[in-house]
Amino acid sequence: MGCCASTKSREAVYAVRKPLIIPGKLACGPWLKYPEDIDDFPSWPEHHQQSLLCKNLTQDMWEELKDTKDESGVPFKLCILSGCQNVDSGIGIYAGSHSSYKVFAPLFDPVIESYHNHSKTAKHVSDMDASSLKCPPLPQDEADFIISTRIRVGRNLEGYPLGPGITK
């Protein structure tokens, strides 16, 4: 989710130079190393404003959330650090713990809705009945190429932070 689209895109990001200081704006880019480096409202380079973080973070949200932490102690600035460093990111925000979704909801809700097309009030429907899948037939010559498949399921443990919130 936070990866760049191509090697050329990554090269373009490394070509981004730290701009002059603009009062009231923080220049996003690879020079940001720590959450504390995000000391003002983030500003993305003109040609790198595609991330959902960039598109959804407003000045009002920033003022409301900039100094808050979730219930696991994960600061808001840590959740947005990757998206501020990696200006070619597609999403740019990562929950530090389960409570990040609730505490930082003014930003997470529109990002999730944009990415998944699933509103906060929508119900998730699980249907584990394989016979209800609507799959087009797979031609035999293509099926012959399949040697194995993999299904990955990731879970977190309740009460423990997610990736960005893990400490030593």
Question: Is the pLDDT confidence value at 161 over 50?
Answer: yes
Which residue, among 117, 57, 112, has the nearest Cα to 83 in the 3D structure? 57
Nearest to 165 by CA among 62, 85, 94: 94
Domain containing 112 equals: 7-120
Instruction: Say what the pTM is.
Output: 0.72
Could you read off the pLDDT of 30-87 as tens digits, one per residue?
999 999 999 999 999 988 999 999 999 999 999 999 999 999 999 999 999 999 999 9
Residue 20 DSSP code: P
Residue 65 lies in a domain: yes
> Domain for residue 127, yes or no?
no
Strand partners, 27: 43
Domain-located, residue 86: yes
Q: What is the pLDDT of residue 1?
A: 45
pLDDT band (50, 70, 90) for residue 13: low
Q: Is residue 71 part of a domain?
A: yes
Q: Nearest-CA neighbor of 80 among 131, 70, 22?
A: 70
Q: Is 101 part of a structural domain of the chain?
A: yes
Counted domains in the chain: 1
- Report the pLDDT value the prediction gives residue 11, as an integer from 0 to 100: 54
